[in-house]
Amino acid sequence: MIELRTPAEIEQMKPAGAFVARVLEATREASQVGVNLLEIDELAHQMIRDEGAESCYIDYHPSFGASPFGKVICTSVNDAVLHGLPHDYRLRDGDLLTLDFAASVDGWVADSAVSFVVGTARSEDLRLIEVCEEALRAGIAAAHVGNRMGDVSAAIGAVAHAHGFGVNTDFGGHGVGRTMHGDPHVPNDGRPHRGYPLKPGLVFAIEPWLMLGTDEIYTDADGWTLRSADGSRAAHVEHTIAITPDGPLVLTARRR
């Protein structure tokens, strides 16, 4: 069911967005060569405890997950695309890392992701990240009253295709509110002027993700981490936004 939030409820969602942004800023800063993914997860967990927030991930067990996730942040490295389960791995120079984090503050959820290179960057990785970020900006720009969800999806897909990337639509954006995942689904490709009409009070996450060499994925033996089928690198970016009469409001905006 698609729910529309009142202006007062959107105000109440802002602390969750700001907290998610702070956690991603802090964990990105901590993600240096030699740092263990489990240390990144523990930092995020400590920030949740300090804030009095609740993790959206630790007990999360959807049909596609082998078991409850058990950690509080997704850490996807190199060919890992989505849902990277933190494990005993120390970051290396040149790793492409995606951090994806969602939390609930006072009963309201926000969800966001950022991709970056640890240490020395390859030009092709930077380009991949930039295309994802450009697609995210395009999706946000299309998210205004009078458009439909297909316009958002088409804007994301148009950027990806213009840069020569294929788009996998198995996973995409989603409604956000009292829970992390709700209606509507926001595919990363689509047809303009189709789908649910965008109305004030609609809150959802937009999350483009792309891989350098394929649009096919498989599930790692850990039962959670999704990887590119050909081992090529991947990037994933995400913001939670609210539709307002004045345009899209990015609830998870970061300084970096």
Domain positions in the chain are 7-250
The mean pLDDT value for 216-235 works out to 97
| Per-residue pLDDT, 64 | 87
| Per-residue pLDDT, 150 | 98
Is 48 exposed, middle or buried (CB count within 10 Å of its CB: 0-12, 13-18, 19+)?
buried
| Per-residue pLDDT, 255 | 86
pLDDT digits (tens, 9 = 90+) for 11-55: 999 999 999 999 999 999 999 999 999 999 999 999 999 999 999
Residue 80, pLDDT above cutoff 80:
yes
Tell which CATH classification among 3.50.50.60, 3.40.1010.10, 3.90.230.10, 3.40.140.10 matches the domain 7-250: 3.90.230.10
| Torsion 179-181-184-186 (CA) sign | positive
pLDDT digits (tens, 9 = 90+) for 100-140: 999 999 999 999 999 999 999 999 999 999 999 999 999 99
Distance of CA 190 to the CA centre of its chain: 19
Q: H helices within the chain, ranges in order?
A: 7-30, 37-51, 123-141, 149-162
| Per-residue pLDDT, 253 | 98
pLDDT digits (tens, 9 = 90+) for 132-161: 999 999 999 999 999 999 999 999 999 999
Q: What is the CB neighbour count within 10 angstroms for residue 247?
A: 12
The mean pLDDT value for 91-99 works out to 98
pLDDT band at residue 256 under the 50/70/90 scheme: confident
Stated as kind and residue range, the H or E segment containing 205 is: strand 203-206
Residue 78, pLDDT above cutoff 90:
yes
- Cα 151 from Cα 235, distance rounded (Å): 22
Residue 248, pLDDT above cutoff 80:
yes
The mean pLDDT value for 211-219 works out to 96
Q: What is the CB neighbour count within 10 angstroms for residue 74?
A: 24
Nearest alpha-carbon partner for 182 in 198, 200, 205, 201: 205
Coil, strand, or helix at residue 155?
A: helix
Residue 201, pLDDT above cutoff 90:
yes
The mean pLDDT value for 94-101 works out to 98
pLDDT digits (tens, 9 = 90+) for 176-197: 999 999 999 999 999 999 999 9
Torsion of CA 132, 135, 141, 146, to 10 degrees: -130
